[in-house]
Every structure is written in C-alpha cells, then in structure tokens.
Structure 1
Amino acid sequence: MNNSGAALRHHKKPIISPLRYPGGKASLYPRLRAIVRANNLTSGTYVEPYAGGAGAALGLLVTGQVRRVVINDLDPAIYAFWKAVVDDPMAMADRIKKVNLTVSEWSKQKEAYLSAPREDYLTLGFATFFLNRTNRSGVLNAGPIGGVDQTGKYKIDARFNRETLIERMRLISLHSKRITVLNSDGMSVIKRYSKRDDTLVYADPPYFEKAGSLYLNSFDDTRHASLARCLNEVSDSLWVLTYDNVPRVTELYEARRREVFSLNYSAHRVTKADEIMVFSDSLTVA
C-alpha cells in the first residue's frame, strides 16, 4: 500500500457547495479530477452515493470535468436541500437574502427542520441549510454558533455570508439540468450505476470513528461490511472509496489497492487526520 499524501496535488479547488461538512471532500477535487481524466470520463457521469455536502461533485461539474453528476443522500433533510437547490435555486437564494440571522429565527428553522413535511422540499431544505450554516461545525444536531445566549467568540452569522452563498446558488442553477438528486440507500445507487462504462462512483460513507456524533445516518459494523461486499462484488467497475484510516478498512478491502492520505478535519477544531482511499481493480489510478 502506498503512502502518498503528496499525490493530492495542490491545484486550486473550487468551493461550490453551499453546505458545511466536517471532513468534507471538496479538497479531493484535484485528485478526483486527475482520476476522471486518466479514465477518460470527462464526457461521463460522476456519482456520490453518500453525497452530504457534494463538494467534489459540484466542483467537477462546474469546472467541466464531467458532464453529469448524481447526488444521493438517504437523509430526507439533506435530500430536501439538494432537491430544492436543483429545482428552485432562485427561491433558495431569495430566502438566503431575506432571512434574519438571529437565535429566534434559528429556533423557527429548527422547528421546521424537525416537523416540515418531507415533500415540502423548500421549507425542509432551507431549514436544513440554515442550521448547517449557523450550527457549530455545521452539525445539524448541534447548537448555534456563539450559543443560545450569543456570548461565544463567534456569533450565529459567522458562517452565513449572504453574497457568497447566493453566488453559489447561481452557479448551481447554471448547471442544474445536469444534476440528478436521489434519496436512496447508497448501496442501491452503487449497484445501479457501477456497471456503466462512462461512470465513476465515489463512495464516502459515514466513517468508523466519531460517526455517531457527526452523521444522522451512521453505520454499524454490519453496514460497513455490507458496503464492502457490495463494492468488492463490482471490483471490475470504476469506483473510489474513502474512509478514516482504521484497521477494519484493510480487513474489508484486503484485495483492493489502498492509499493513505492526510485531510484537514474541521469539527470543533481544525486537525489533520490520516484517511484511506481504496480503488477498484479496473480504475486507472492517477
């Protein structure tokens, strides 16, 4: 197994996603771009079965590295956000422009997040977005930046730059016809798309350590093992997987090529952690 954190080339990465995600993978854009090109997929489709913030997907799409992207998330709130952004980005932008950035508004959006009908994509999606931008570390079940009494060093509006976020909505709207949003189990998405010759699947599932505090749909070992079976069964397809670098990953993907890399991690405080990238047999690794 190669240890090649240096292989994550230092090209400037585009920041397109409106969401904040601990350990978000927008920083992998240069490496994924190189993989797309090495496998002649610039006219193809890029799929994220566990999309979350979809930072890499949107970066690849907006910069013309791939023709289409598929964003899937099983969490109905995250799905509602992406559905609202793709279907009606200007409505989302209008709400960003007008919303009050106060603890009182945070309480209203928290209630909407907990009680809005799943099919009301705009209400649920915006509430999800509001909490993501105003909560500590972007974690949906955390409290507001600065605390309810707003006595912290940073205040609730610290990560809510209206102009920047509206511009990201505008950029996404220009490419919305080439974005597919799904609300399915990640493994079903892998099975659906992995056999397509013009498609790269990038799986970034909930991690082993600290997953329960960061993801609303965390995995237990049975789910991690099921995902491994799913991916190992399609090792002749084109896929990449990332995980936290724990021994269990090596056990589950013993027969696959693996590479350790470093990534900045921003939940609660910025740290650098080793993670592991796993490659399918058919993938040309750039």
Structure 2
Amino acid sequence: MSMAGTAVSTLRPRVSPLRYPGGKSALYPRLRKLIRDMGLAGCTYVEPYAGGVGAGLGLLATGQVERVVINDLDPAIYAFWATVQSDSGWLIEQIRKTELDVNEWRRQREIYQSADTSRRSELGFATFYLNRTNRSGVLNGGPIGGLDQSGNYKIDARFNREGLAERIRILSLYSDNIIPTSQDGIEIIEKYAKQDNTFIYADPPYFEKAGSLYLNAFSPDDHTALARVLNSYADRPWLLTYDNVPQVAKLYSDRRRRKFELNYSAHRVGKATEIAVLADLLPEVGEGWKVTSS
C-alpha cells in the first residue's frame, strides 16, 4: 500500500504510537537492509516481545514487509494493539477528547491496574494514555511533571493529539496486515520459525534493570530457555538484541554477535552499547555493527 500523502519518512518512519524504554525504531534501516539482502521483502515480520514495535511498523508502512505479528504477553499492551487493529476510530476519538490532567491520569491508571480484559478497548486506551503521560513511558511510573505538576515538563508534554491520531490513522490502513497476539514469546518463535518467508526480530526483556523497565521481566531460566529455542533454529532468519552483558556470550557462544550503539532516555541519557545476535542464515552485517568475541 502506498504511503503517498503522509509525512512518514522512508529513512526512519515514526508510526508507532507508543514510547518505549530502549525502543528499537532506530534499527529500522538495518533491519530493512537485512530483509532485502535475504530476499525476504514482503515477508511476515514477527516480534515475539513487541512493546512499541517501532521498527516493525516502519517496515510495514514503507512496504518492506507484508504483515507484522505483534506479540506481547502483557494483556494491557496486547489490549492496546488489538484496539489499534480493530477499533482505531474509537481510539482516535479518545485521543482527541480525553483530558490531560492528573485527575484523568488517576482514572486511567485505575482502569489500567484493574486489567479488565473484558473491556479491551478501555484497557488498551488506558495503557496508551499512561505510556504517553508517564515519565519515559514506563507504565508503572509516575506522570511527567509529577503529581503536583511542578516539573519543567507537564503531563501533556508527550501527548500531541493530532500527531498521535495521525499515527493511529496510518496504522488503520494496515489493519488487515497487523496481527496482535498475547502468547509466550517462545511459543511465537516456535510457531513462526518453521514457516517460510518469515523474519523474527526478538528483543526480550534485558538482564539489567529489567524489573524497572518491563512488567514481565525475565528470570535467568527464561533467558536460558529463549537461547535454547533460538539456537535450535539457527538456520532460520532471526535477529536478537540484548544488553551488553557477559551472559549473552555464554548463551550464544556459537552465534555471531555484533555490538551496536543505541540512544536511551529511560534511566540514563546518551548512548548505550548493546549486542545483536545473528542467526547463521543472516548475511554479515556492515556499517554500524562491531565484531565482538566476548
């Protein structure tokens, strides 16, 4: 589908409505190149640990991939993506009319904390509201500017109504090509790794600061189980990203690992060095990736 007439850049399109700590939208050009180099243009792109899906939705909106599987075990994140996919008009209406103040923030937080999945759209919007009004987008954090709104930035600082409504409108054009699911990430990997014309990008909860950044943090056993599955599909097209810690080299000692830099806003400002693990099938990556043997 053509994106003519929209403001989306083909260099690094910004179509995800969510803010995410450590979000990987900046990897869009590198993922695009990998997919093209493997002859997988028009494939199904899968994120087993989706979050904001910044890169994946950019690939969809620019026609690099045919569909995007957005999987998140967190029922609240799933509720948001399911609402984007099935009830975008209602979501846009809420974005345009809902008050941006601490009283409304408290109300939306109650909806979010109740986690009533039978009211999926309301839960999805509450999740979105907190993501856009909380510091660094952390759902269990506090509002920008504080409860007394005495900070330099106020609660509406990251809630550009028209800009966010436009992102939802753009995504609504691809509703048939967005597949939201809420399963264990390993189940999704095992399902799609066996299918042809599929690319998996796994960005699981990291080792460090995981408890403060992710609602579904990983235990050491979870990291080990993920490595066991991905290593068993080394001949399939997948890319994994992690924080730069020694455990990654131990779990993926037989795979190529490449360092890359990423800008962060949550908990620290500046660049962070992270690790990408490449399945054997992937071509060698070039500029912006550094070889690591540790």
TM-score (structure 1 length as normaliser): 0.95
Asked if structure 1 preserves the Cα contact closer than 8 Å seen for 2:72 and 2:78, the reply is yes
Taking the TM superposition and a 5 Å limit, the aligned residue runs for 1:234-273 are 234-273=233-272
For residues 44-65 of structure 1, the C-alpha deviation after alignment (integer angstroms, 9 at most, x for no partner) is 1100000000101100000000
In structure 1, how many angstroms separate the alpha carbons of the residues matched to 2:147 and 2:274? Answer: 34
In structure 2, how many angstroms separate the alpha carbons of the residues matched to 1:40 and 1:119? Answer: 41
Q: Number of aligned residue pairs: give it.
A: 276
Which residue does the alignment assign to 1:66? 65
Asked if structure 1 preserves the Cα contact closer than 8 Å seen for 2:75 and 2:115, the reply is no
Q: Which runs of 4+ in 1 moved over 4 A?
A: none
Following superposition, the deviation at residue 116 of structure 1 comes to 4.4
Which residue does the alignment assign to 1:82? 81
What letter corresponds to residue 188 of structure 1 in structure 2?
Answer: E
Asked if structure 2 preserves the Cα contact closer than 8 Å seen for 1:38 and 1:285, the reply is no
Query: What is the SS of the residue equivalent to 2:79?
Result: helix
Query: What is the SS of the residue equivalent to 1:147?
Result: coil
Asked if structure 2 preserves the Cα contact closer than 8 Å seen for 1:72 and 1:79, the reply is yes
Following superposition, the deviation at residue 119 of structure 1 comes to 2.8
Asked if structure 2 preserves the Cα contact closer than 8 Å seen for 1:128 and 1:140, the reply is yes
For residues 213-245 of structure 1, the C-alpha deviation after alignment (integer angstroms, 9 at most, x for no partner) is 000000011100100001001111110000001
Structure 2 stretches of 5 or more lacking a match?
Answer: 1-9, 286-294
In structure 2, how many angstroms separate the alpha carbons of the residues matched to 1:266 and 1:195? Answer: 36
Asked if structure 1 preserves the Cα contact closer than 8 Å seen for 2:35 and 2:41, the reply is yes
For residues 63-88 of structure 1, the C-alpha deviation after alignment (integer angstroms, 9 at most, x for no partner) is 00011110000000000000001101
In structure 2, how many angstroms separate the alpha carbons of the residues matched to 1:119 and 1:125? Answer: 11
Asked if structure 2 preserves the Cα contact closer than 8 Å seen for 1:237 and 1:280, the reply is yes
What letter corresponds to residue 217 of structure 1 in structure 2?
Answer: N
TM-score (structure 2 length as normaliser): 0.92
Following superposition, the deviation at residue 117 of structure 1 comes to 1.5
Query: What is the SS of the residue equivalent to 2:282?
Result: coil
What letter corresponds to residue 49 of structure 1 in structure 2?
Answer: P
For residues 25-49 of structure 1, the C-alpha deviation after alignment (integer angstroms, 9 at most, x for no partner) is 0000000000110111112110000
In structure 2, how many angstroms separate the alpha carbons of the residues matched to 1:222 and 1:28? Answer: 28
| Cα RMSD, aligned residues only | 0.9
Following superposition, the deviation at residue 12 of structure 1 comes to 2.5
Asked if structure 2 preserves the Cα contact closer than 8 Å seen for 1:46 and 1:57, the reply is yes
1:188 corresponds to 2:171: no
Asked if structure 1 preserves the Cα contact closer than 8 Å seen for 2:76 and 2:115, the reply is no
Asked if structure 2 preserves the Cα contact closer than 8 Å seen for 1:113 and 1:128, the reply is yes
What letter corresponds to residue 187 of structure 1 in structure 2?
Answer: I
Query: What is the SS of the residue equivalent to 1:60?
Result: helix
Which residue does the alignment assign to 1:8? none
In structure 1, how many angstroms separate the alpha carbons of the residues matched to 2:144 and 2:267? Answer: 11
In structure 2, how many angstroms separate the alpha carbons of the residues matched to 1:260 and 1:151? Answer: 40
Taking the TM superposition and a 5 Å limit, the aligned residue runs for 1:17-56 are 17-56=16-55
For residues 191-219 of structure 1, the C-alpha deviation after alignment (integer angstroms, 9 at most, x for no partner) is 00002220000000000000100000000
Larger relative contact order, structure 1 or 2 (CA cutoff 8 Å, min sep 6): 1
What letter corresponds to residue 114 of structure 1 in structure 2?
Answer: Q
For residues 70-118 of structure 1, the C-alpha deviation after alignment (integer angstroms, 9 at most, x for no partner) is 0000000000000001101111000000000000000000000011421
Asked if structure 2 preserves the Cα contact closer than 8 Å seen for 1:47 and 1:69, the reply is yes
